Structures are given as structure tokens and as C-alpha cells.
């Protein structure tokens, strides 16, 4: 037996207990960042998702699409304005957001997964009234984000039906209000809400960073809620990492077993996180 053959065997043996542990479990994955742009990483992600499904896990994908939205808006001559990190979304912008997220991006992901032998189905939060939304308020009297929303509630019936039939749900983060208004919602927030509602085993947030870093730039491989509070207080966790960490902790506090912030720039990041001892990011737990 060659060294390379032995290495393959060792990798499979290392994965076995994780395959057994997560068989039949739901894993909600927020797909975004470079993993949605780089062609090799897109293929890697699709293969990872298909393999997870084939060994008995139930991956549920929630995707972003900010760069694709910005690119399409620029091509049609529509100026993009951001306030407090939120894309100000008037009715024309919302039409483009819905077309890009619910159409172009969503169907590309579905096609990628299906081309590798999966059975993916694309959805938005409007389908089956899955994501009930409400308007996101800025808290400032002179600031209106437009049709930017937040999750009011999740109806999991469509996702549960698809899972029961061995399909892989791929969800664009678009919700609808009680009055029928359409809202663009942060994909991390939608993934977290879905994980809580589905009582998922894991929530995985794919990012363009190795995970949560200390002040020296070293990866923190695991954190508790108490440790996160201290790192926020001393300025270690700042800016865009704060809402990601809060989303991950909210899920854990609501019953999701573990949350992970992982580096989507790493080839096969999902499999490395789910099926190996070391993982590729930060694990957050109670």
C-alpha cells in the first residue's frame, strides 16, 4: 500500500464518526463571499454539499449576492447608496435585488449542485410564505433604508417537505410582510433564523476571513458566549464580525448545537469543517 493510499484511508476513517454523528441532521449553511465568485470555489462548494447529502446529512443553503446586485445595478445605471452598511432599497432597486437573488444567483447555485449529482431546489422566502418579514427600522428619524427587512417569523413547512423528499433547499433571503410588501434581508440573519426554527445541528457562516481573530491576527478556533462578550468589550471583535458572531451565538442560545464561522476561501471548506477534527474556522458554543 502506498503512502498516498494510506493517507486516503486515514482521511476516510477520520470522517466516519462525523458521518455517523450528523446522519439525518440538518446543517444550515450561509453561502457567500469569495466562495460565490471564484469558479473553482463554486465547484468545490457544490461538490461538498452533494457529498454531505449523499452521506445522510440535510444541508440547507441560504445565499447572499451583494456583489452581483451591485454589478447589475451599475449596468442598468442605478446608483447604489449605503447607510449604516445597509443598501438603501427603493422599489426599482428591490426589483433588481429580487431578479438577481431569486433568479440569476439562486439558479446558478441550483445548477451547480445538480450538475454534481445533487437534487437542489431554488426558493425565495416568498415561496410557501417561508420568510415573514417586517421593515428594518434605522432608529433614526431621518434615515429610511427602504425595502430592507428583518425576519419576523419562519414557516419551515416547505423546507421540511423538500428535506423529506431528499432535495437540497437553496434559499434567497427575500421575505414578504403581512401586507404583501417585499423585503431584502441580510443572509446571515435568515440563515440564523432558519437554523433556530429547524432546530439544526449546525449553523455554518462562510466568510472571507479565517474566522474570529485575536488582536495579533491569530485564529481563535473556539469561543463561548462569555468569551465573545469579553472580546467585544476589549475591541478584539469589531465592525462586520460583530453581527456574524451575534447571529452565531443567537442560534446556539436558541438550541442549535454549534455555530461556525469559516473561511470560504479555502477549497472544500465545508467538508473540512464538518468531517475533520481540526475544521477551518471558529466554533461558537454556549
- Whether the per-residue pLDDT at 237 is higher than 60: the answer is yes
Q: What is the mean pLDDT of the chain?
A: 94
- Give this prediction's pTM: 0.94
Burial annotation 101-126 (CB, 10 A radius, 16+ → b, else e): bbeebbebbbebbbebebebbbbbbb
Give me 98's grid cell: 429580487
pLDDT of residue 206: 95
What is the per-residue pLDDT across 197-225, written as a single tens digit (0 to 9) for each?
A: 999 999 999 999 999 999 999 999 999 99
Give me 273's grid cell: 469543517
> Is residue 73 within a helix (H) or strand (E), and if so which, with residue range?
helix 66-75
Strands 26-31 and 182-185: unpaired
pLDDT of residue 282: 95
Report the alpha-carbon distance of residue 100 to residue 167 in Å, rounded: 23
Q: How many CB atoms lie within 10 A of CB 1?
A: 7
Amino acid at each position: 500500500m502506498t503512502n498516498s493510499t494510506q493517507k486516503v484511508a486515514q482521511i476516510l476513517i477520520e470522517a466516519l464518526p462525523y458521518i455517523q454523528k450528523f446522519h439525518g441532521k440538518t446543517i444550515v449553511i450561509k453561502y457567500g463571499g469569495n466562495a460565490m465568485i471564484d469558479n473553482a470555489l463554486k465547484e468545490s462548494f457544490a461538490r461538498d454539499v452533494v457529498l454531505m447529502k449523499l452521506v445522510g446529512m440535510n444541508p440547507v443553503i441560504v445565499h447572499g449576492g451583494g456583489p452581483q446586485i451591485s454589478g447589475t445595478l451599475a449596468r442598468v445605471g442605478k446608483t447604489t447608496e449605503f447607510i449604516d452598511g445597509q443598501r438603501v432599497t427603493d422599489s426599482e432597486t428591490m426589483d433588481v435585488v429580487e431578479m438577481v437573488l431569486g433568479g440569476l444567483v439562486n439558479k446558478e447555485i441550483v445548477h451547480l449542485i445538480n450538475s454534481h449529482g445533487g437534487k437542489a431546489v431554488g426558493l425565495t422566502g416568498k415561496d410557501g410564505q417561508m420568510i415573514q418579514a417586517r421593515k428594518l427600522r434605522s432608529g433614526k428619524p431621518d434615515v429610511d433604508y427602504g425595502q430592507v427587512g428583518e425576519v419576523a417569523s419562519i414557516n419551515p413547512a416547505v423546507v421540511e417537505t423538500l428535506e423529506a423528499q431528499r432535495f437540497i433547499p437553496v434559499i434567497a433571503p427575500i421575505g414578504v410582510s403581512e401586507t404583501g410588501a417585499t423585503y431584502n434581508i441580510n443572509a446571515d440573519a435568515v440563515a440564523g433564523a432558519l437554523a433556530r426554527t429547524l432546530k439544526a445541528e449546525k449553523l455554518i457562516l462562510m466568510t472571507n476571513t479565517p474566522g474570529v481573530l485575536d488582536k495579533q491576527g491569530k485564529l481563535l478556533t473556539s469561543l463561548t458566549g462569555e468569551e465573545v462578550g469579553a472580546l467585544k468589550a476589549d475591541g478584539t471583535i469589531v465592525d462586520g464580525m460583530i453581527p456574524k458572531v451575534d447571529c452565531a451565538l443567537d442560534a446556539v442560545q436558541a438550541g442549535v448545537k454549534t455555530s461556525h464561522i469559516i473561511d470560504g476561501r479555502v477549497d472544500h471548506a465545508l467538508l473540512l469543517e464538518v468531517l475533520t477534527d481540526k475544521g477551518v474556522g471558529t466554533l461558537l458554543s454556549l
